[in-house]
């Protein structure tokens, strides 16, 4: 899926963008399904915006899309687990932002081979507050994050890194149906949405099956390609349909585990040197 040049760029710069997944028309269809789910559910809670692939069949279709998985396989190999997913929505003309951070900070994954695929369902550009990165910053490994309660920060723990004013910054601008890939250690953020439209994307966290999580709480994950020979996670079933009862139960159980693990991993990350 990825060219040799793109694979080299990922190793050197820590990201690849943009990559084509599906057509803008398909992206519009997925967005319509999301907004229908928002209406039918009276708005999706913060937890319902996480691990949506466990109870929405169309999200499960995206996370298993061959073009997305082919690109991920080029970076981490053929046995792929989906560790986490977050639907990132910035409403039009709002101040919500994401501070500079590394995805690795509170995931507790070892080895650090987690890759995030950020799939755009609406335009993600400078005006709408696309993801920005510091190229090559992943080479420095895990960094200590400060914590705080900045108003508008979509990272509720307030994790943040200090990035020098003169740092080189690249924008991962995406059209609907495109996606980017970035390394778990890469410094990245996103600014407020000043556009007249919502900015909608799925942040999908893929790991090779040999990865493990450092929390005492055992977590679940979804096997999306290949085989799991390691058994480091309990495997979640795919939903049969949107909001099917088994899918809802799987989601609720997975989120209980997720919160228990975060209660352990967040203090550990904040006290690490």
| Alpha helices (H) along 195-244 | none
Q: Which residues pair with 82 in a beta bridge?
A: 206, 222
pLDDT in tens, the chain (273 residues): 999 999 999 999 999 999 999 999 999 999 999 999 999 866 789 999 999 999 999 999 999 999 999 999 999 999 999 999 999 999 999 999 999 999 998 899 999 999 999 999 999 999 999 999 999 999 999 998 887 767 899 988 778 898 998 999 999 999 999 999 999 999 999 999 999 999 999 999 999 999 999 999 999 999 999 999 999 999 999 999 999 999 999 999 999 999 999 998 877 766 554
Q: What is the fold of 4-271?
A: Jelly Rolls (2.60.120)
Distance CA 49, CA 99 (A): 19
Q: What's the pLDDT score for residue 273?
A: 42
The one-character DSSP state at 103 is G
pLDDT at 147: 77
Tokens of 260: 């228990």
pTM for this entry: 0.96
Respond yes or no on whether the N-terminal peptide bond of residue 9 is cis (omega within 30° of 0).
no
Distances (CA, A) of 272 to 105, 115, 218: 10, 22, 21
Domain-wise residue ranges, the chain: 4-271
The residues, ordered by sequence, that sit 6+ positions from 225 with a Cβ below 8 Å of its Cβ are 64, 69, 73, 78, 79, 80
Q: Tell me how crowded residue 48 is: count the other CB atoms within 10 A of its CB.
A: 18
């Amino acid at each position: 899926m990825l060219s040799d040049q793109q694979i080299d760029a990922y190793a050197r710069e820590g990201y690849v963008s943009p990559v084509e997944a599906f057509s803008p028309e398909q992206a519009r269809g997925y967005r319509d399904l999301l907004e229908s789910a928002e209406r039918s559910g009276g708005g999706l809670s913060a937890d319902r915006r996480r691990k949506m692939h466990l109870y929405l069949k169309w999200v499960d279709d995206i996370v298993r899309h061959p073009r997305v998985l082919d690109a991920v396989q080029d970076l981490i190999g053929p046995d792929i687990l989906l560790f986490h997913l977050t639907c990132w929505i910035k409403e039009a003309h709002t101040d919500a932002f994401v501070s500079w951070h590394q995805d690795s900070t509170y995931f507790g994954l070892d080895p650090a081979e987690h890759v995030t695929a950020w799939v755009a369902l609406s335009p993600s550009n400078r005006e709408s507050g696309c993801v920005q990165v510091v190229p090559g910053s992943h080479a420095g490994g895990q960094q200590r994050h400060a914590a705080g309660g900045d108003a508008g920060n979509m990272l509720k723990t307030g994790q943040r890194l200090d990035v020098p004013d003169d740092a080189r910054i690249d924008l991962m601008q995406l059209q609907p149906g495109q996606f980017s890939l970035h390394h778990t250690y890469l410094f990245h953020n996103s600014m407020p949405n000043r556009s007249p439209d919502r900015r909608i994307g799925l942040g999908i966290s893929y790991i090779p099956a040999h990865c493990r999580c450092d929390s005492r709480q055992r977590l679940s994950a979804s096997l999306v390609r290949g085989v799991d020979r390691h058994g480091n996670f309990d495997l979640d079933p795919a939903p049969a349909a949107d909001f099917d009862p088994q899918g809802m139960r799987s989601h609720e159980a997975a989120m209980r585990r997720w919160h228990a693990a975060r209660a352990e991993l967040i203090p550990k990350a904040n006290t690490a040197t």
